[in-house]
Amino acid sequence: MPTFLPLLVLVLLLHQQLTFAILTISIKGSKFFTSDGDQFYIKGVVYSPDAQEYNSLTNGAQCAIDAQLIANLGANVVRVYGVDPTLNHDECMKAFEDRGIYVVLGMTTPVYTVNRANPEWTIDLRNALAQVIDAFQAYDNTLAFFAGNEFINDQATSKVGPYAKAVAADMKAYRDLMQYRTIPIGYSAADVAEIRSQQQDYFSCGPANTSVDFYAFNRYSWCGSSSMAESGYNVLYEEADGYDIPIFLSETGCHVGDADRDFEDQVAMLGREMNDRYSGNIIYEWAQHENKYGLVSYDNDAATGTPSMMGDYTRLKSQWATLDPTGVKASAYSPSLTNRACPTSTSGGWLVQKNADLPTLGTSGLTAPTGSRSTTRASATSTTGGSAGSSATGFSSSLNNNNPSQPSKTPVGAIAGGVLGGLVVLALILGLILFLLRHKRKARAALESQEDGTANRPAGDLIPVTDEEEKIQQNGFYGPGYHELHGQGTMAELDPARGHAAAMPAAEMASHRGPVEAGIAGESEEERGEREGAPVQSRSGEERTVEPSPYVQAQRNMEMEWLESEEARLRQRRELLIRQNGGGS
Ligand SMILES: *[C@@H]1O[C@H](CO)[C@@H](O)[C@H](O)[C@H]1NC(C)=O
């Protein structure tokens, strides 16, 4: 018995290492890095399978099916627009974590958001969004939060900017107050051509505690066969020169009509042309809906079961298989970046005064944990509440019961305790051995890459896609599906199109052909209508009662109001565009 105990522990530890450990992501300078110090590039898809856009992380069995297919595609990120933090997301988050997939999560929903027509940032809203952080901070594969999505969606609504930054600032303050992991909190912008660079500068300008941790925007301009110049990506690249926080596309994947997409834009975004300034992009979208941007299609509206892979899935998979940039190591990266100046306001342009105050609320009424908080899952608890209290936020008060971080407490007797103690010591020794072995391998790899000159690449240098060998070394945390992609890894190095640096004229980019202006997710009017009248479906079975919760009722009512204002806004926007384009669009 004692002889195979260490073996058992070893096997368990190895299993743990190979299957469950996902590296957390943090920011240094203008780049994302894994906790191992490797640069992280986003190959993402919008995950909103049943067209409701919210609560797609509650059906564990379905998430497992989808996560495997998303891993097979070669993605490492899913974007989820929003959640009800009172529901349980453990199984879904685990399904994605097990396959090496991170989640970028929107904190707002149509109910809990800043209304751009009548912006307000209130204690209730602040506390509601704080619950999203409480519910997701303990998952290692929570990559980042969006404090807002497209609050500003035309020149006139640029005046909502201070509210958007206040949300981000207060949520960052809350995250830090609670001593949670420093999960990046950023913003997902609409691509408004007239104020694009002002908006980009605005979100990063000012002191670190009032700016976003990263900036992302939705962009639909590389449509079909295109180029850096024709798509305006050359301008995006120019505008990201020296940008001091990470930047990426939070939605992309233009198509003309229902045409097939070949995703050649991915070669630009993840290849040498852009990968020294951009951190990747998120393709719109996983499931086929009315607007026909899907990569897969389900045979039922609830989007359950195994979907069928469409042509776009296969074509995106082929592109991604050849694009795996390594970037720089965190240890070799010491950026000297200058904080952007806040943009100057102009009438008819960017409307926010340079020194305008933010309507921040701070963390008043929220309770900091006493003593120091360990960073492990087991110790994380929610203390959101304060003056408004969590019931006043509209979420059910069962949040703490559903908190994924609560450990189950098993009473352990004295004798069992002794045996466990011995096991822990054994595990620690074996863990140390494993760590040393791993460390040695990494040191060797670092040395080798230094020898071939890739380790000390300066920050601004153009970065090649990885070679086959490095890719295999790095794939420890990707699921088995990802390994299927190795075969094509070296092609990228050999294809001259992928090694070409951008040297194109900076022609101004104006086309705006994608669904980006449709507010959230490019949802069609018809889908909006359907969603409005449809019962809120639970994909989690027993976790939801038959009676709609107050949250759901509030969501329906506020969503209806929101939809009405959206429709009015869309009409105005369409009229404006028609006027500007002399009838065409
Ligand atoms: C940001 O930090 C400064 C300096 O510590 C402080 O005076 C200010 O109140 C902070 N602002 C916010 C919104 O937290």
Q: What is the pLDDT of residues 304-349, one digit of tens each?
A: 999 999 999 999 999 999 999 999 999 999 998 999 999 999 999 9
Question: 188 and 320: one domain?
Answer: yes
For residue 566, how far is its CA from the centre of ligand 1 (angstroms)? 34
* Same domain (yes/no): 154, 173: yes
Helix (H, G, I), strand (E, B), or coil: what is residue 147? strand
Nearest residue (CA) to ligand 1, atom 2: 209
Report pLDDT for 490. 28
Same domain, yes or no: 172 and 283: yes
> What does the block give as tokens for 547?
């009676």
* 131 and 39 belong to one structural domain: yes
With respect to residue 545, please indicate whether it lies within any of the assigned structural domains: no
The distance in angstroms from the start CA to the end CA of the chain is 75
The pLDDT, as a whole number, for residue 257 is 81
| Surface-to-core class of residue 139, CB atoms within 10 Å of its CB (0-12 exposed, 13-18 middle, 19+ buried) | buried
Domain-embedded: residue 531: no
Which residue is catalytic, options 53, 97, 251, 566?
Answer: 251
Q: Is 543 part of the annotated catalytic residue set?
A: no
391 lines ligand 1 (CB under 6 A): no
**Distance from C-alpha of 490 to C-alpha of 321, rounded to nearest angstrom:** 10
Same domain, 285 and 196: yes
> Ligand 1 pocket, 533 CB below 6 A?
no
Amino acid at 513: R
Residue 547, preceding peptide bond in cis (omega within 30° of 0): no
Question: What is the Cα–Cα distance from 554 to 561, expressed in whole angstroms?
Answer: 11
Both 51 and 172 in a single domain? yes
Ligand 1 binding pocket includes 364 (Cβ within 6 Å): no
491 and 430 within one domain: no
Question: Does 328 map to a domain?
Answer: yes
Domain-embedded: residue 567 = yes
Q: 3-class SS at 144?
A: strand
Active site residue 493: no
Residue 534 domain flag: no
Q: Is the CB of 210 under 6 A from ligand 1?
A: yes
Give me the catalytic one of 91, 150, 273, 527: 150
pLDDT given at position 505:
29
| CA gap 460, 109 in Å, rounded | 37
Amino acid at 551: Y
Residue 360 and residue 430 in one domain: no
Tell me, what CATH number does 374's domain have?
3.20.20.80
Q: Among 381, 411, 441, where does a domain finish?
A: 411
Tokens found for residue 341: 């100046």
In ligand 1, which atom is closest to the CA atom of 166? 13
Query: Computed from CA positions of residues 229, 233, 234, 235, in that sequence, does the dihedral angle turn out positive or negative?
Result: positive
Could you tell me which residues are beta bridge partners of residue 359?
none
| Segments in the chain below pLDDT 70 | 1-20, 52-53, 371-566, 569, 573-574, 576, 578-585
Judgement on whether residues 212 and 307 belong to the same structural domain of the protein: yes
Q: Whole-angstrom Cα distance, residue 54 to residue 558?
A: 14
Q: What ranges in 45-99 are assigned the alpha helix state H? A: 60-73, 90-98
> How many independent structural domains does the chain possess?
3
CA distance 564 to 570: 10
Instruction: Write out the residue range of the structural domain in which residue 3 sits.
Output: 1-21+415-453
One DSSP character per residue, 366-387 reads PPPPSSPPPSSGGG------TT
Residues 50 and 189 in one domain: yes
Structure tokens at 470: 């490095």
Answer yes or no: do 80 and 210 share one domain: yes
Task: Say if 389 falls within a structural domain.
Answer: yes
C-alpha 339 – ligand 1 centre gap (Å) = 16
Protein residue with its CA nearest to atom 14 in ligand 1: 209
What type of residue sits at position 482? Y
Does 539 map to a domain?
no
Q: Are residues 235 and 317 in the same domain?
A: yes
User: What pLDDT sits at residue 465?
Assistant: 34
**Cα–Cα distance between 41 and 248 in angstroms, integer?**
9
Rounded to the nearest angstrom, the distance between the alpha carbon of 176 and the centre of ligand 1 is: 13
pTM for the model stands at 0.67
- 360 CB within 6 A, ligand 1: yes
What is the pLDDT at residue 248?
98
Per-residue model confidence as pLDDT tens digits over 116-157? 999 999 999 999 999 999 999 999 999 999 999 999 999 999
CA 495 to chain centre: 30
The CA distances from residue 447 to 317, 444, 481, 582, in Å, are 32, 5, 29, 60
**DSSP per-residue codes, 98-135:** HTT-EEEEE---SSSS--TTS----HHHHHHHHHHHHH
Cβ of 209 less than 6 Å from ligand 1: yes
Q: Can you read off the two tokens belonging to residue 105? A: 């999560």
d(CA 21, CA 98): 8
Evaluate: CB of 169 within 6 angstroms of ligand 1: yes
Residue 252 lies in a domain: yes
pLDDT score of 5: 64
CA distance linking residue 217 with residue 246, whole number of Å: 12
